[in-house]
Amino acid sequence: MESAPNLTTHTHRRFLEDRQQILAENERLRAEIATHKKLTFRLRDSYVKITQSILSAKHIQKIALPGERRLQQVFPGAVLMDRPRDVVSGDFFWAGRHQSWRILGVVDSTGHGIPGAMMSMIGHNVFEQTLKEGSFDVLGRLLDQVSMRLKTRDRMISDCPISTASNDLCFDAAVLAVHDSGQRVMFSGAVMDCFRIRDGRAEIWRGDRASLGGSHMRILRATGGTEQFSTIEMESKPGDQFYLMSDGLRDQFGGDNERKLGRKRLAELLVEHSCLPTNERIAAIHRSFLLWKGANEQVDDVILVGLTL
């Protein structure tokens, strides 16, 4: 007759098996922790390198594009609000002279971040070149020429066999020209608008509903087979305030009902702060924008330039 198994030996064997399983599990966990640490280090290193690259791009963009000093040289007393969504911006302004006119443009490039910043430098170069070399008597023709130059560059990029570019060189823009007499003003826009504040009231001039450049460019008005942007001419008087801005301002969600700011509320905001001194006005507009945005993320790059005649 066989004797019953030794309980002590059986328990010892189970203990050794459990111990081996625990040791194996501990070894697996140590390996996973080591792998996670390596991945965390790589992610942190990549984040630092990407951040440094973005900051370098911001520095390059700051050098390449005109700063507020250039704006003040052409339009003394102008106010500027420049608030990128992602450190660097696809929105930019440019200012210059053409004959007896001082010209201001605010431009919204396709995209955000690094792609938008690269687009902004291409766009600024085209605007500067057109302003220096172009021939135009109204602002609409300036935008016509800019659009044609953009499409020419776009075709050159698309025809390059190593190019992988799939986006058109498209820009929305608002351009204002002020005659040296101070009594005449011209406006032309591609999608973007111009706001005038006079005697506590706001007036809005709408740009044409087509962007500059790109394959989707519509024929706005056919004259001899050419595309033409319209020009609005108006008289001005001392104290008139003009604002050009990208759509990131009016498209920002916020308020009690999480709606877009919109043109109407934006006009009311500009009127509300129109009586403030120039050096206080832009700060007040910025505060109002932040109050409207609240805890919401900024949806787009924002740029606003204001002039007082």
Backbone CA torsion sign across 63, 64, 66, 68:
negative
CATH of the domain at 262: 3.60.40.10
Q: What is the pLDDT of residue 161?
A: 44
Name the domain boundary from 27, 43, 64.
64
Question: Residues 26, 88: one domain?
Answer: no
Residue 136 inside a domain? The answer is: yes
Rounded CA-CA distance 55/4 in Å is 78
Q: What is the pLDDT of residue 168?
A: 65
Rounded CA-CA distance 146/198 in Å is 31
Question: Residues 223, 303: one domain?
Answer: yes
Is pTM beyond 0.85? Reply is no
Rounded CA-CA distance 32/154 in Å is 49
If you average pLDDT over each of 19-23, 167-171, 182-186, 241-245, which comes out highest? 241-245
Residue 170 inside a domain? The answer is: yes
Average pLDDT taken over every residue of the chain: 86
Q: What is the pLDDT of residue 97?
A: 92
Q: Which pLDDT band holds residue 227 (cuts at 50, 70, 90)? A: low
Q: Residue 286 is part of which domain span?
A: 65-308
Q: Which residue has the tokens 């938008």?
A: 116
Question: Residues 145, 72: one domain?
Answer: yes
Q: What is the pLDDT of residue 49?
A: 83
Query: Is a pLDDT exceeding 70 seen at residue 173?
Result: yes
Higher pLDDT, 155 or 94: 94
Query: Is a pLDDT exceeding 80 seen at residue 216?
Result: no
Residue 305 tokens read as 């330039």
Residue 268 tokens read as 């009311």
Question: Residues 54, 130: one domain?
Answer: no
Query: Is a pLDDT exceeding 90 seen at residue 91?
Result: yes
Residue 15 inside a domain? The answer is: yes
Query: Is a pLDDT exceeding 50 seen at residue 211?
Result: yes
Name the domain boundary from 64, 79, 99.
64
Q: Which pLDDT band holds residue 138 (cuts at 50, 70, 90)? A: confident
Question: Residues 129, 258: one domain?
Answer: yes
If you average pLDDT over each of 45-59, 155-169, 283-297, which comes out highest? 283-297
Question: Residues 96, 55: one domain?
Answer: no
pLDDT in tens, 8-50: 777 878 887 788 888 888 888 898 898 888 888 888 888 888 8
* Contacting residues for 240 by C-beta, under 8 A, at least 6 apart: 185, 196, 197, 198, 308, 309
Residue 39 inside a domain? The answer is: yes
Residue 208 tokens read as 């044409």
Question: Residues 280, 136: one domain?
Answer: yes
Name the domain boundary from 64, 84, 109.
64
Residue 1 inside a domain? The answer is: no
Q: What is the pLDDT of residue 290?
A: 96
Question: Residues 261, 176: one domain?
Answer: yes
How many structural domains compose the chain? 2
Question: Residues 180, 197: one domain?
Answer: yes
Rounded CA-CA distance 92/36 in Å is 42
Question: Residues 217, 253: one domain?
Answer: yes
Q: What is the pLDDT of residue 59?
A: 82
Residue 297 inside a domain? The answer is: yes
DSSP string, the chain: -PPPP-HHHHHHHHHHHHHHHHHHHHHHHHHHHHHHHHHHHHHHHHHHHHHHHHHHHHHHHHHHS--HHHHHHHSTT-EEEEE-SBSB-SEEEEEEEETTEEEEEEEEESSSHHHHHHHHHHHHHHHHHHHHH---SSHHHHHHHHHHHHHHHHHHHHH-TT----S---EEEEEEEEETTSSEEEEEEEB--EEEEETTEEEEEPPBSS-BSSTT---SS-BTTB-----EEEE--TT-EEEEE-TTTTT-EETTTTEE-HHHHHHHHHHHTTTS-HHHHHHHHHHHHHHHHTTSPP-S-EEEEEEE-
Question: Residues 114, 230: one domain?
Answer: yes
Query: Is a pLDDT exceeding 50 seen at residue 220?
Result: no
Rounded CA-CA distance 222/244 in Å is 27
Q: Which pLDDT band holds residue 3 (cuts at 50, 70, 90)? A: low
Backbone CA torsion sign across 265, 204, 111, 93:
negative
Q: Which residue has the tokens 């025809």?
A: 159
List Cα–Cα distances, 207 to 108, 135, 146, 163, 174, in angstroms.
13, 21, 15, 33, 7
